Amino acid sequence: MGIFDFLGSIVGHLLWFFFDAVSDYALAIFLLVLVINILLLPFVIKRQKTMAKNAKFSQKQQELRKKYEKDQKKYNEELAKLYEQEGNPMSGCFVSMVLPMLILFGVYNAVTRPLQNTLHIPGEKITSAVEVLKNDPSTQENFKKGYEELQIIRHFPEIKDKLTMLSEEELADVEEYSSGFNFCGMNLLSNPNGSDFKEMLWLIPVLTFVIMVLTQLVSQKTNGADQTQAIGCMKFAPYLMALFFAWSSYTVPGAVGFYWILNLLISLAQTILLGKFYSAKKMNAKEEAARLALLELNESSVKKIK
């Protein structure tokens, strides 16, 4: 078992707990993502502080580069002084950035490999089931599209009699899980690119694009980044990344895209709320106020000595 499946298995226990309580996949995945994001909030705050500090550092570095553009030696000397004064803006951010990413990969593996990581059916049984269905002329077409475990859940009523390798309890769990993927008339086990327009699954990639662009723009504003000064294709980076994820959510089962949307929405809410307390502008103002207070204290001490 790889690290992501190990994390997926842990997250899957929590997802199954929520699903067993509410019998609705959309609500269960929402509760899961919400709880995980609450647990990760301290790391998100630390990352926000790091990004704000990095924006301030980058601004000062650009000022030095402009001031000493014709004197590289002097620029390097002043840059070294800046590092000594401000510290490395990226120091200490490794854990705050990597740990949330690892956990989100665990959520992704719980979503995309539900039989193994959420229902905890032994891997050899899943492999056997997939092989049987891939070699059966009546089912093999559905199992050439990837996400085999989600396909088994999607087509469970038609293929139940072929899953003889599963126990009665395992079949009951799969049947219960397969009944909870209808959300506002959308079957979250279907792919947007293979569904009818009336099924409304095209909303998933559209919302993925809109929310991701909005999140990145809000983040840039919060951290004092000026997108108008970006060079070349970097101006379009927020849109290119959003297009990539939108296309991905168009080609994968709706359950995966739905998870991305929920995570993006919570990320957007966090960005807006944290921006009120930890924006680059506010943090710079606090640092400047602290610097002036220290300066006044030092001047007061000197006067008392005299």
Mean of the pLDDT values across residues 195-213?
A: 90
Q: So what's the pLDDT on residue 147?
A: 83
CB 212 within 8 A of CB 265: no
Q: So what's the pLDDT on residue 128?
A: 94
Q: Look up the pTM and report it.
A: 0.73
**93 — pLDDT class (breaks 50, 70, 90):** low
> Cα separation of 154 and 187, whole Å?
9
CB 107 within 8 A of CB 13: no
CB 229 within 8 A of CB 286: no
DSSP labels, 8-59: HHHHHHHHHHHHHHH--HHHHHHHHHHHHHHHTHHHHHHHHHHHHHHHHHHH
Q: So what's the pLDDT on residue 177?
A: 92
Lowest-pLDDT range, 74-78, 102-106, 300-304? 300-304
Q: What number of CA atoms fall less than 13 Å from residue 275's CA on the CB side?
A: 17
> Cα separation of 101 and 88, whole Å?
22
Only one residue has tokens 């207070």, namely 293
> Cα separation of 253 and 29, whole Å?
15
Element (H, E) at 182: strand 182-183
**pLDDT tens for each residue of 210-221:** 998 888 888 777
Q: Tell which wins on pLDDT, 285 or 194.
A: 194
Q: Tell which wins on pLDDT, 237 or 164.
A: 164
Mean of the pLDDT values across residues 283-289?
A: 65
The string over 194-225, giving b where at least 16 C-beta atoms fall within 10 Å of a residue's C-beta and e elsewhere, is eeeeeeebeebbebbbebbbbbbeebbbbbbb
Nearest to 49 by CA among 82, 102, 98, 97: 97
What are the backbone angles phi and psi of residue 302, rounded to the nearest 5°? -65, -45
258 burial level (CB within 10 Å; 0-12, 13-18, 19+): buried
Asked if residue 91 has pLDDT above 70, the reply is no
> Cα separation of 65 and 82, whole Å?
12
**pLDDT tens for each residue of 106-150:** 888 888 899 999 999 999 999 999 999 988 888 888 776 678 898
Asked if residue 230 has pLDDT above 70, the reply is no
Q: What number of CA atoms fall less than 13 Å from residue 22's CA on the CB side?
A: 15
Asked if residue 280 has pLDDT above 70, the reply is no
Q: Is 183 helix (H, G, I), strand (E, B) or coil?
A: strand
CB 179 within 8 A of CB 168: no
**291 — pLDDT class (breaks 50, 70, 90):** low
Q: So what's the pLDDT on residue 163?
A: 93
Geometric angle at alpha carbon 180, from 155 and 202, rounded to 5°: 75
CB 270 within 8 A of CB 41: yes
